[in-house]
Amino acid sequence: MNFLNILLEVPATTGVGGGYQGIIMMVLIFVVFYFFMIRPQTKRQKEIKKQREAMKAGDTVVTTGGIYGKVRDIKDTTVTIEIAENVRIKVDKNSVFASSEDLQTPAK
């Protein structure tokens, strides 16, 4: 018998049923959730945090509300963003993401 069959084998003497099989299935489900959901999310959060810490004046950003602009001032918890000429808004630092696209208006 191979090792997996030994682990998943349900003893005939147990009246409750399941034995180690139920425990192994729960562990396998947790491992799958960890590698497909929890781990990628924590990696993404660390990357976003690193981008926010590296943000400086002049960077192009987008808010969670979909507003694009350039960073003008950064404080501890807020960021001032210029969304048009002489139009500035102050938003929470946690609602700002780095944007890779260039916001230069095309020449007419």
Could you report the per-residue pLDDT of 35-81, keeping only the tens digit for each?
A: 999 999 999 999 988 988 888 898 999 999 999 999 999 998 999 99
pTM: predicted TM-score of the whole model, two decimal places: 0.58
pLDDT for 54: 87
Q: What CATH number has the domain spanning 56-101?
A: 2.30.30
CA neighbor of 60 nearest in space, from 107, 93, 101: 101
Q: What is the pLDDT of residue 72?
A: 94
Count the alpha carbons within 13 Å of 21 in the hemisphere toward its beta carbon: 11
